[in-house]
Amino acid sequence: MEETAALMVVAEIAVALAGFSGVAAALRHGASETWPDDDRDRFVDLVVHSGIALFASLVPLMFAHRAGVNSELWSSSSFIWAGCASVGIALAARRTLLHQNQRGRGVRSVLTAIAFLGTLVLQLYNGFVLQEFWPYLGGLIMNLGFAFIQFMALAIPRPRSD
């Protein structure tokens, strides 16, 4: 598959996930005015990571149409992804510290942070050394995968603890 076609596929999946997030939220909570903190955080994560994948796939497409596909494009794109991920990791760490008392949140947050830090290192390595498409696509897939996990957590009903 051509690199620009792969970016278009990522963009389409990101839009679909973001669109279905509203459906999942509506089905889960109906007309309820309050959401549990966990569900609100999942919804925000889903929309943010879908948005990052969408933005991070469309920007290189724009530059590819302007200047062509080259190693500098993937290097620059990886640096942009790394910048967005750094902000995201910092905000997620802040949110985790604010919600330390919620069971299970700490373990999930640590595992997620490790996965994103690993991907962040890969993006930086790609920006400085590799300058190829596949590591950049890996970062986008990480965003989509995380958004999909959040979507499933919203869509699949949890057993009630009465």
* Rounded Cα gap, residues 144 and 12, in angstroms: 11
pTM: 0.90
Q: Look-up: residue for tokens 């510290």?
A: 97
Q: With respect to residue 59, please indicate whether it lies within any of the assigned structural domains.
A: yes
Q: Domain range for residue 119?
A: 3-155
Q: With respect to residue 162, please indicate whether it lies within any of the assigned structural domains.
A: no
Give the DSSP per-residue string, 17-48.
HHHHHHHHHHHHHTT-S---HHHHHHHHHHHH
In what helix (H) or strand (E) does residue 81 lie, and over which residues does it extend? helix 71-98
Mind listing the pLDDT tens digit for each residue in 64-94? Answer: 999 999 999 999 999 999 999 898 888 877 8
Mind listing the pLDDT tens digit for each residue in 89-142? Answer: 888 778 777 776 665 666 777 788 889 999 999 999 999 999 999 999 999 999
Asked if residues 67 and 116 have their Cβ atoms less than 8 Å apart, the reply is no
Q: With respect to residue 54, please indicate whether it lies within any of the assigned structural domains.
A: yes
- The whole-angstrom distance between residue 154's C-alpha and the CA centroid of its chain comes to 16
Q: With respect to residue 38, please indicate whether it lies within any of the assigned structural domains.
A: yes
Q: With respect to residue 119, please indicate whether it lies within any of the assigned structural domains.
A: yes
Q: With respect to residue 160, please indicate whether it lies within any of the assigned structural domains.
A: no
- Total number of domains in the chain: 1
pLDDT attached to residue 42: 87
Q: With respect to residue 40, please indicate whether it lies within any of the assigned structural domains.
A: yes
pLDDT average, residue stretch 58-67: 93
The model's confidence at residue 15, banded by pLDDT at 50, 70 and 90, is very high
Q: With respect to residue 45, please indicate whether it lies within any of the assigned structural domains.
A: yes
